[in-house]
Amino acid sequence: MESMPRNHVRKIIEAFLRQVQQTKNKNSYNNLTSAPISKCSVRENMPWLQVGLKGTRECHGYTTLGEMIRRLDFTGSAFLTYRFPYILQVIYLLVKREMTTLSATAQQHLFQVIEVLLSQVMESKRGIRQMHYILNTLMSVLQIQSKKKMISSKATWFKKLDTVRRWQSQLKQIDVPYRMDSHATLSDMPVEVQAFIVSCLTDHEDIRSLSCVNRTLNEICENTVVWRNLCHANFTKFQVTKAKNMYFKQLKKKAKSENKDNISNLIKPDSVRYWKAIHEILLKSFKPIEENYIDPLLYCKHCSVLFWKETGHPCIQEFKDIVPNIDHLSPQQVVSFFEPKR
């Protein structure tokens, strides 16, 4: 009835039908004491997945990353706005760490998810920087595979290489439209409000990009408070303290090489240069605290089930005396979850 784009209407209908199917599948397993074994179930695109990390008498084989991508419907979930940032980060970590360990079928499903993510980025103009990281990392991995002769088929490898190059060219052509309205922008706000907004940012790339907008924002971004908050927002207090000690040792070595006994002149804790150096050490030495996502994957330790937060716990609903032990998995934990335990 309204003047909406055809592809937008199609995505809304697909999301609704997918939710109806998930509800139907969930109701059919209400009376089970555990979710169906993924190896024994013929269903695809399930809202949950029972994980087996080693073969047992009841379930032969084990669950893989490729099976997780396929059965938990990463391709369809990438269309959902509230799951998009989570899947984007999971795919980035998969490409960076586990690309060479995936089977040919799993890599095919991975490329399908990346193509959907790229279409969402092109349409919504969100996650452009993260998509650049994914494609650049994917290109590097493919080149490393060629140098180390880790490819089984040259034709397949060239096809993947051409696909990634085509995606990179599409992403370079993305055009973020300029605002045509007369409403207030960030630059129109008082300097104090601008400084408060910048101090709330948690990505150093955003701060560096914002510093190139105009002279006022450049002065705000070069403030001590901004970089100090950035360190404490992304890292723990223990990590920040350890980074300070590492920076102190670096200055001590520098003073010794320059034959200077006093290093107090080199340390200025209230300067921007000091906190930028601390932030650089933190990025090299530690992993940043991962952000909270709206709809992450959850893992029930009681029944070994991996499921989306929105769909709810798929099993043991009628047993009120049992409290499931559920963990919220960050993207880093999802990828590490399937790595072999040493």
C-alpha dihedral sign at 263, 264, 265, 269: positive
User: How many domains is the chain built from?
Assistant: 1
Per residue in 140-194, pLDDT tens? Answer: 999 998 888 777 788 888 999 999 999 999 999 988 777 777 788 888 889 999 9
pLDDT of residue 323: 61
Whether 61 shows a pLDDT value over 80: the answer reads no
Q: Is the pLDDT of residue 33 over 50?
A: no
**Residue at 19 is within a domain:** no
| Strand partners of residue 307 | 48, 298
Residue 329, strand partner residues: 297
- How would you class 167 by CB atoms within 10 Å of its CB: exposed for 0-12, middle for 13-18, buried for 19 or more? buried
**Residue 5 has which token pair?**
């784009």
Q: What is the pLDDT of residue 2?
A: 64
- List the helix and strand counts (H, then E) for the chain: 14, 4
207 domain-assigned: yes
**pLDDT, tens digit, 9 for 90 and up, residues 249-298:** 888 887 777 666 555 555 677 788 889 999 999 999 988 888 888 889 98
Q: What is the pLDDT of residue 326?
A: 83
Does the pTM surpass 0.95? The reply is no
The pLDDT of residue 320 is 54
Distant-in-sequence, close-in-space partners of 138: CB < 8 Å, separation ≥ 6:
95, 99, 114, 164
Asked whether residue 260 is domain-assigned, the answer is: yes
The answer to the question of residue 74 being in a domain is: no
Counting Cβ atoms within 10 Å, is residue 308 exposed (0-12), middle (13-18) or buried (19+)?
A: buried
Most confident of 25-29, 42-46, 131-135, 200-204: 131-135
Residues 171, 72, 313, 337: is their CA dihedral positive or negative?
negative
Is residue 233 a part of any domain in this protein?
A: yes
> Residue 53 pLDDT > 70, yes or no?
no
**Residue that wins the pLDDT comparison between 22 and 144:** 144
CA geometry: angle 194, 195, 197, nearest 5 deg: 65
* 105 inside domain: no
Residue 41 has pLDDT above 50, yes or no: no
Evaluate whether residue 249 is within a structural domain: yes
> Of 33, 114, 95, 101, whose CA–CA distance to 313 is shortest?
33
Decide which of 1 and 18 is more confident: 18
| pLDDT digit string, tens, across residues 206-247 | 899 899 988 999 999 999 999 999 999 999 999 999 999 998
Confirm whether 275 is domain-assigned: yes
End-to-end CA distance of the chain: 59
- Predicted confidence at residue 136, as pLDDT, reads 95
pLDDT of residue 249: 86
For residues 281 and 34, which has the higher predicted lDDT (pLDDT)?
Answer: 281
* Residues spanned by the domain of 226: 203-285
